[in-house]
Amino acid sequence: MTQESLRVLSLIPPMTQLNTPYPSTAYLTGFLRSQGVQAQQEDLALALVLRLLSREGLSRVRAVADAMPAKARSAAVASFVDQADAYLATIGRVIAFLQGTDATLAHRIAGRGYLPEGPRFASLEAYAGALADDDGGDPLAWAFGALGLQDRARHIATLYLNDLADVLRDAVDARFEFVRYAEQIAMSQPSFEPLAAALAAPLNLIDTTLTELTLDAIARHRPTVVLLSAPFPGNVYAAFRIAQAIKAHHPGVVTVLGGGFVNTELRELAEPRVFDFFDFVTLDAGERPLLALLEHVQGRRSRERLVRTFVRDDAGVVKLGKWQEPDVPFNDVGTPTWDGLPLNSYLSLLDMLNPMNRLWSDGRWNKLTVAHGCYWKKCSFCDVSLDYISRYEAASATVLVDRIEAIVAETGQTGFHFVDEAAPPKVLRALAEELLRRGVQISWWGNVRFEKTFTPELCQLLADSGCIAISGGLEVASDRLLQLMKKGVSVEQVARVTRAFADAGIMVHAYLMYGFPTQTVQDTVDALEYVRQLFEQGCIHSGFFHRFACTVHSPVGLNPAEYGIELMPLPEGSFARNDVGFTDPTGVDHDRLGLALKKAIYNFMHGFLLEQDVRAWFDVRVPRPTVPRHFIERALARH
């Protein structure tokens, strides 16, 4: 096979995001084109949703729902069946509105008389019950005011789509979600059996639709190699379904699996059945393994010289090619390209009314990385031993702004989401100065560590360069546990830094954690009190609590005794082996406490009940906080 006959197609499998493309294919396509390879890309996640959520697609869903016995229908399915004609009549216009091509429809949607409403709309009544009497009884007035017509309509349209997602889940595929599609059969699954059983089952309507879209893409592009990126457990099942369809109809096409899920969960892959679907599985940064793999496909490199690539040998045994070659420097990976992706077809959804939280689902953001890896790489809960964290390389400000200008010219969009693990303050300063020097006008947001380097002066500089929002890890808001985590920050420091961002007009999101080794009930209550005060003082605007999970590649997993825990044996298996259970001497029921934490922060994000004693959120008796009630206020006043 010659270079001229080599054609690579990169696919985004369902489900990732609906508002903007996941960037992995954009990076690989841009890189491959810089190497002279014919490379194309498609987003089958978006294509699947647009095919299902169309008049034709909903007609097929209706046929499935109508065939269900009435007593077997969930509330969402029953509501859909009763209002099916209204859904078929409105779905095309709602999609166009969420794509930004029919803005005037907002008037009808916002009036609450145009769209059929299912169980998801009960959330509006929940908002109404939390409001004061002077809002006129309008459950959305507090969030959008009199002039927020477009936002009001998009939130209502998003509830409408969420009702339809529930119908797809309850009538067609119990594993379906807009983001975490079938993740339970892939996440932390040492055995391939659940995934194998799902893939052997008869095709349902969603599977059939995905197969149709896959074969259409193959017919359009006629690739010799198909790359499937699986960043999350929630798009692994669909990636395998796509590969299954390709192998059934085009067995000569080479299929390759990579992405974040592979890099963390499949590092000890030994399951030969994976290679009934994929010819190769690659680890870590994809540029170098991919160049070696394409040379192999062309007959220019032996299988023994593959780089970080799993294959099944002639005896049916899975082997990892470990040929050593240097990675492509981050400065040289080229500019990502979105050519081939339908940028005007993505859906701007408004799930969450919180202005900061909405950024993840609202708007078409160009995703870009400022630096590869993490400059800190000490946090004990993080996979610091793996390439995506441990190999830190930054691009120069000149190169970054060159990439930004090229992307804006290609896409016509000036919004950027920097998707670094933690963008370095030094690089952000240089980037901001270069953007201002060149007069490049963009809006951007990204992830950082809340370290003291982010002074009020630097925060203002970042705001001047277009920064609108920042997210960062507060994790367990406890100085003892932050020190144990080797986070390198204190609660008081986080308060000062986040306030500096907020004072510069930058919204702040805090990543929070519960269930860390040796975390007590008192630690949890105190953490929630710190978080309450940070919201109360305007330091943070949004947050999310997630449950700590111990991974085999983190310092906790590698050195459990240092953290006061004992690891459970890893389950036997040949597939995903990353998360590991542990026993914690505290014996705290973190899952039960977690329900209170999530309920509290949801209310804090909407400005509700910030004055309430944090103990009221828990359904079990907990101790009073040991944190002084005005700790954050006083800490800010001292500086």
Considering the domain architecture, whether residues 570 and 484 belong to the same structural domain is answered as yes
**Given a cut of 50, is residue 614 above it in pLDDT?**
yes
More confident residue, 589 or 277: 277
Considering the domain architecture, whether residues 79 and 124 belong to the same structural domain is answered as yes
CA distance 39 to 227: 10
Q: How many domains does the chain have?
A: 2
Classify residue 277 by burial, with Cβ atoms within 10 Å: 0-12, 13-18, 19+.
Answer: buried
Share of the chain above pLDDT 90, in %: 73
**Given a cut of 80, is residue 49 above it in pLDDT?**
yes
> Which pLDDT value is given to residue 385?
81
Q: Tokens 């201002």: give the residue.
A: 436
> What average pLDDT score do residues 497-507 get?
96
CA atoms within 13 A on the CB side of 38: 11
Considering the domain architecture, whether residues 388 and 309 belong to the same structural domain is answered as no
Angle at which helix 44-52 crosses helix 205-221, to 10 degrees, equals 130
Q: Structure pTM?
A: 0.92
pLDDT digits (tens, 9 = 90+) for 246-255: 999 999 999 9
CA distance 237 to 591: 27
Q: Tokens 């190999």: give the residue.
A: 391
**Given a cut of 80, is residue 136 above it in pLDDT?**
no
pLDDT digits (tens, 9 = 90+) for 359-386: 888 889 999 999 888 888 888 888 888 8
The closest alpha carbon to 42, from 78, 84, 9, 65, belongs to 9
CA distance 454 to 423: 12
Print the domain residue range for 323. 1-351
pLDDT digits (tens, 9 = 90+) for 458-472: 999 999 999 999 999
* Domain stops at, among 319, 351, 383: 351
Considering the domain architecture, whether residues 540 and 628 belong to the same structural domain is answered as yes
CA Rg, the chain, in Å?
A: 25
Considering the domain architecture, whether residues 460 and 474 belong to the same structural domain is answered as yes
Residue 195 near residue 237 (C-beta atoms within 8 A): yes
Tokens encoding 13: 């499998």
> What average pLDDT score do residues 231-250 get?
96
CA distance 618 to 597: 8
**Given a cut of 60, is residue 529 above it in pLDDT?**
yes
> Which pLDDT value is given to residue 141?
57
Which of 165-169, 484-488, 591-595 shows the highest mean pLDDT? Answer: 165-169
Q: Predicted confidence band at 606 (pLDDT cuts at 50, 70, 90)? A: confident
Considering the domain architecture, whether residues 302 and 413 belong to the same structural domain is answered as no
CATH of the domain at 520: 3.80.30.20
CA distance 180 to 436: 39
**Given a cut of 60, is residue 498 above it in pLDDT?**
yes
pLDDT digits (tens, 9 = 90+) for 544-570: 999 998 888 899 988 989 888 889 888
Considering the domain architecture, whether residues 364 and 340 belong to the same structural domain is answered as no
CA distance 454 to 471: 13
pLDDT digits (tens, 9 = 90+) for 71-90: 999 999 999 999 999 999 99
> Lowest-confidence range among 126-135, 163-172, 501-510, 527-536?
126-135
E strands within 344-401?
A: 366-368, 371-372, 393-394
More confident residue, 55 or 639: 55
First to last CA, the chain: 66
More confident residue, 246 or 492: 246
* Domain stops at, among 351, 370, 392: 351
The DSSP string of 2-70 is -TTT-EEEEEE-S-S-SSS--THHHHHHHHHHHTT-EEEEEEHHHHHHHHHSSHHHHHHHHHHHHTS-G
Q: Max alpha carbon distance in the chain (Å)?
A: 75
Q: Predicted confidence band at 133 (pLDDT cuts at 50, 70, 90)? A: very low
Residue type at 412 in one-letter notation: G
pLDDT digits (tens, 9 = 90+) for 304-339: 999 999 999 999 999 999 999 999 988 888 899 999
**Given a cut of 90, is residue 612 above it in pLDDT?**
yes
Q: Predicted confidence band at 424 (pLDDT cuts at 50, 70, 90)? A: very high
> What average pLDDT score do residues 493-504 get?
95
> Which pLDDT value is given to residue 357?
83
Angle at which helix 55-66 crosses helix 205-221, to 10 degrees, equals 150
> What average pLDDT score do residues 179-203 get?
91
**Given a cut of 60, is residue 481 above it in pLDDT?**
yes
> Which pLDDT value is given to residue 134?
44
More confident residue, 355 or 159: 159
CA distance 374 to 366: 21
Tokens encoding 344: 């005007």
Handedness of CA 320, 326, 331, 335 (dihedral sign): negative
- The neighbouring-strand residues paired with 227 are 10, 256
CA distance 33 to 36: 5
CA distance 171 to 161: 15
**Given a cut of 80, is residue 147 above it in pLDDT?**
no
Considering the domain architecture, whether residues 306 and 373 belong to the same structural domain is answered as no
Considering the domain architecture, whether residues 546 and 603 belong to the same structural domain is answered as yes
> Lowest-confidence range among 306-320, 380-394, 424-438, 619-633?
380-394
* Domain stops at, among 336, 351, 366: 351
> What average pLDDT score do residues 36-51 get?
96
Considering the domain architecture, whether residues 442 and 548 belong to the same structural domain is answered as yes
Tokens encoding 156: 């209502």
CA distance 64 to 168: 10
Considering the domain architecture, whether residues 538 and 454 belong to the same structural domain is answered as yes
Mean pLDDT over all residues of the chain? 91
The closest alpha carbon to 109, from 150, 81, 164, 53, belongs to 150
Considering the domain architecture, whether residues 464 and 579 belong to the same structural domain is answered as yes
Taking CA atoms, 496 is separated from 35, 537, 606, 607, in Å, by 46, 11, 22, 21
Q: Predicted confidence band at 110 (pLDDT cuts at 50, 70, 90)? A: very high
Tokens encoding 619: 């359904």
